[in-house]
Amino acid sequence: MGNEPVGTSYVFYLHEEQQQVVHDALTRQALLSVDANSKRGEPMPYTLSSDWVVTCLLLLCFILTSYVLSRGKQHLKEEFKNFFSIKERSNLFDETTASDMRHKLSLIFQTCLLEAFCLFDYFIERGSNILHDIPHSILLISLIIIMVIFYVFKWLLYLCINNILFNKTKSEIWLKSYFNVIIWIGFLLAPVVLLVVFFDLSSTISHYSILIILILGKILLVYKCIHNFFNNSYGAFHFILYFCALEILPTLLLWKGLLLINSYWF
C-alpha cells in the first residue's frame, strides 16, 4: 500500500543507539589507554623558595635581626667602633649586660642559619648524593646543628688556648672581637641568601660573593689578632702558627669532612 512496514523506524533507532554505545566505549578505551610512545610528566624540580622549612627559617632570621636592631643597635655600633681601637685593657663602660649577650647569641645563631643555607645550596647545585636518601629539611637542619657545634668548639678551643698563652684581658678582647666578626658575616650573608632563595641568583655569582664575605671576615680576624696578640715584630712566626692552627685548620677540616660525607654517602 506504499506505507513503511511497521517497526522499521524502531529498528533504525536501535541500530543508531548501538552504534553510539560502541563509539562511546571506543572513545573511553582510547582515553584510558596509555600510548607506549608517550612521555610521562616530569615532576617540578626542587627549589629553595618552595620549601616551607627554608621559608620559616628565613622568617626566623628576619625576626631575630629586627628584634636585636630594635633593642641593641647602639651596643652593636659601640662594638664596631671598639673593634678598630687598640686597647691594652678593658674599659669599665664596655661591660656587656645580659640582654646584650642574648642579642649577640641570637645574631651568632642567625649566622649559623645563613651559613647552613649556603652549604645546603652548594650541595643542591652539585647534585649531592645525600639528597637522594635524606629529606631536604633534615639535611638543612643537620647542617645548622653542625654549624652551631662548630662555633661552640671554636669558642672552647680559643678559650682554652688563649687562657694558657695570654692574659685574661686579651683573651676576652679576642673572643668578643671574634664573635663580632661572625655577626658581621651574618649581616653580609643575609642579602646574598635572600637573592639565592627568592630571585634564583646565579650560582657563580653567589659562590664568589660568599667566598669574598668569608675572606673579608678572615682579614678582619687577622687584623685583630695581630694588634691584640702579636703586635711585636718577632711575633710574626707565632702568629702564623696560632692563626693557622686555630682558625684556618678547623675550617678546612669542617669543609673536607662535609665533602667526604657527601662522596661516601650511599
Per-residue pLDDT of the chain (266 residues; tens, 9 = 90+): 444 444 566 555 655 666 566 556 656 665 555 444 555 545 566 677 777 888 888 888 888 888 888 887 888 888 888 787 765 555 544 566 777 788 888 899 999 999 999 988 888 877 665 666 677 788 888 889 999 999 999 999 988 888 887 888 888 888 888 999 999 999 999 999 999 888 888 888 988 999 999 999 989 988 888 877 776 656 667 777 788 888 888 888 888 888 887 776 54
| pLDDT for residue 34 | 46
pLDDT at residue 145, as a whole number: 93
Predicted pLDDT of residue 87: 57
CB 83 within 8 A of CB 178: no
HSE value, Cβ hemisphere, 13 Å, CA-based, for 159: 7
pLDDT score for 151: 93
∠ CA 254-257-260, nearest 5°, is 155
Predicted confidence at residue 129, as pLDDT, reads 59
Distance CA(96)–CA(79), nearest Å, equals 10
Residues contacting residue 128 through CB under 8 Å, at least 6 positions apart: 262, 265
242 and 229 Cβ atoms separated by less than 8 Å: yes
At 266 the pLDDT is 44
Cell numbers of 59, please? 622568617
Q: Is 135 left (phi over 0), alpha (psi -120 to 50) or beta?
A: beta
What number of CA atoms fall less than 13 Å from residue 212's CA on the CB side? Answer: 8
Listed by start position, the domains of the chain span: 49-88+103-259
Residue 118 CA, chain-centre distance (Å), reads: 4
Alpha helix locations (H) across 84-202? Answer: 98-125, 130-133, 136-165, 168-199
What cell was used for 260? 667526604
pTM of the model: 0.75
pLDDT at 257: 86
Contact 167, 135 (CB under 8 A): no
pLDDT of residue 108: 92
User: Rounded distance, CA 98 to CA 182, Å?
Assistant: 19
